Amino acid sequence: MAGRAAPLIPVAMNAIHVETLTKRYGDVLAVDDISFDAGMGATVGLLGGNGAGKTTTIAMLLGLLLPTQGSIAILGHDMATDRFAALARMNFSSPYVALPHRLTVRENLRVYGHLYNVARMDRRIDELTVELDLGPIINRPAGQLSAGQKTRVALAKALINRPEVLLLDEPTASLDPDTGDMVRSWLERYRAESGCTILLASHNMAEVERLCSHVLMMKKGRIVDRGSPDDLLVRYGREDLEDVFLDIARNRRQATEVAA
């Protein structure tokens, strides 16, 4: 007698498991048969130019879009059948997703805290206020914030429930170099202390080199190369990831060896 299907991934091995993931809009193939894993406690970079499929991939990981084909498991939960169990343990940040403008920063954080049933919510908000330097703006309406301030608030929202999986879209966009460095240091510390797995979509190649242990290079909906930042630099004979990114985006140069 056939038993119930086993979980897609062993939780001890991978926080994120994506297999043959595809998303089609009519004749447009936005994501084309991609597969990858992100291990527990790893920070994985998702890189590619505009239209490469990064945002669509993240939206499917969040359960906001249904795949045309393929499967996703997060923290051992099949996102097609058990996504709410995973969503309670993950979160997402993007400076391009607006929070309710009329609510203050604190009120916004309380709303999301209630959604995630955060214990000792006021204490958690106070911790994030200190760690992300939100004190001067914590009682200001979200609609009155600068772009950089909105980025920090979006990150605070994403951390309100102490997620085990964190999906970040341009987490330091619009931040000045000093604040951007502070946020990167905080993410490094949070990952090290919590064991959180981070999937990072960014156009800041220095940020990716600093934070990521593994990189997925996307182009036209496909993963065209992958590896550690050091592996990619050696493979393309480059000194920084920006040149690797440009080589792939512009077809300027091929890798000197086949990616694993």
Per-residue pLDDT of the chain (260 residues; tens, 9 = 90+): 344 333 343 434 699 999 999 999 999 999 999 999 999 999 999 999 888 999 999 999 999 999 999 999 999 999 999 999 999 999 999 878 889 999 999 999 999 999 999 999 999 999 999 999 999 999 999 999 998 899 899 999 999 999 999 999 988 888 889 888 988 998 999 999 999 999 999 888 999 999 999 999 999 999 999 999 999 999 999 999 999 999 998 887 665 544 44
Asked if residues 65 and 30 have their Cβ atoms less than 8 Å apart, the reply is no
Asked if residues 38 and 200 have their Cβ atoms less than 8 Å apart, the reply is no
- pLDDT at residue 255, as a whole number: 59
Rounded Cα distance between 224 and 250, Å, is: 13
Residues of the chain with CATH 3.40.50.300: 13-89+164-176+197-253
- pLDDT at residue 6, as a whole number: 36
Q: What is the CATH number of domain 13-89+164-176+197-253?
A: 3.40.50.300
- pLDDT at residue 97, as a whole number: 83
Alpha-carbon distances, residue 158 vs 88, 95, 125, 178, 193 (angstroms)? 12, 11, 12, 21, 17
- pLDDT at residue 253, as a whole number: 64
